[in-house]
Amino acid sequence: DAKTTQPNSMESNEEEPVHLPCNHSTISGTDYIHWYRQLPSQGPEYVIHGLTSNVNNRMASLAIAEDRKSSTLILHRATLRDAAVYYCILRDGDFGNEKLTFGTGTRLTIIP
Amino acid sequence: EPEVTQTPSHQVTQMGQEVILRCVPISNHLYFYWYRQILGQKVEFLVSFYNNEISEKSEIFDDQFSVERPDGSNFTLKIRSTKLEDSAMYFCASSDLRGYSYEQYFGPGTRLTVT
């Protein structure tokens, strides 16, 4: 599996935007970039995914660099409920049933 | 909104005992997974299951582990003879590829404590 690199932890103030970076310099052409998060004492939860173009959904936005070697998950207005560990994961788009390989992720703390 | 459910939420067992962890995946999903997370560590893949057979398993998933879909709704993980190091949160997940959605939906987990 291609590797991703994320900061161990980040802090943000409530109601401000949060930009969570992910580096994936060895990404292959068929790898999709997925983001999951894990709230305290819960199972992981899908956030968003993309291939080349930026993506938006009700939870977040995903900005993908033109060379695809990095991406940024954007929470537009962080709430206390967004405090979680965020995982950036690469998955081969040709095998949609492929397992998820979790790293250590970024622990996001929201300051009231 | 449909969700994956798991029972029990917490299971305490003695070393050497057999345990069965139960999951009810989302009803129209086709792929099923088990993951585990030892306290303070990463979420680790154990096994994936499709069309009534294992499609992939990790090194962790040795002969002590087995999975089964005994009926149209349940998906179980059995550990034959538990060890202390099997203590972890066990998460079931499911996904539906018919709509080309690659999301995996996770259950709330079962905390297994082996004493």
CB contact under 8 A, A96 and B95: yes
d(CA A73, CA A47): 9
Best of A8, A37, A41, A100 to mutate (most B CBs within 10 Å, chain B): A100
Single-letter amino acid, residue A60: A
CB B105 within 8 A of CB B85: no
User: What are B68-112's pLDDT values in tens digits?
Assistant: 998 878 999 999 999 999 999 999 999 987 655 578 999 999 999
pLDDT of A49 reads 92
CB contact under 8 A, A96 and B33: no
With a CB-CB cutoff of 8 Å, which residues 48-77 of chain B face chain A?
48, 50, 55-56, 58
CB contact under 8 A, B106 and A43: yes
CB B54 within 8 A of CB B69: no
pLDDT tens for chain A, residues 1 to 112: 568 999 999 999 999 999 999 999 999 988 899 999 999 999 999 999 999 999 999 999 999 999 999 999 999 999 999 999 999 999 876 666 678 999 999 999 999 9
Query: A100: nearest CA in chain B?
Result: B45
pLDDT of B98 reads 60
- The sign of the dihedral angle between the CA atoms of B24, B26, B31, B32 is negative
Best of A34, A38, A57, A97 to mutate (most B CBs within 10 Å, chain B): A97
Average pLDDT over residues B30-55: 94
